Homo-oligomer: A and B are copies of this chain.
């Protein structure tokens, strides 16, 4: 068995247009609804064409001390030039958490594979 984990690439989003950027508060209250927004290539724009595009983001949350991560949301970006219309790789949703932990975002480019980022969040 080979592990898929070796394909999860990362980097500085300022220079790398595939790294998902996680926008969320540093601190929220337990059970408070807050926005999680994932963008990509905030500094360097990724192409969006039939041949090359960001297809999806997945968002997971790992409560500190927990054994397993929980999938928060999945976003698919599905228009890449049909009739000259486009979906940009931006995905936002709302969540309510019960304790502190780490948010993970995974992005997929159909040509350049899977990329990841993480951000800690304090839940009081």
Contact A67–B113 (Cβ < 8 Å)? yes
Total copies of the chain: 4
Chain B residues with Cβ below 8 Å from A91 are 73, 75, 91-93
User: Which of B5, B62, B75 interacts with A73 by CB under 8 Å?
Assistant: B75
Query: Count of A residues near B, CB < 8 Å?
Result: 62
CB-based contact A73/B76 at 8 Å:
yes
Q: Which of B1, B8, B110 interacts with A71 by CB under 8 Å?
A: B110
Q: Chain B nearest CB: distance from A120 CB in Å?
A: 8
> Do residues B90 and A1 form an inter-chain contact, with CB atoms below 8 A?
no
Residues of B within 8 A of A3 (CB): 5, 8, 10, 116, 118
Which one of B70, B87, B112, B114 contacts A79 once the chains associate, using CB atoms below 8 Å?
B70
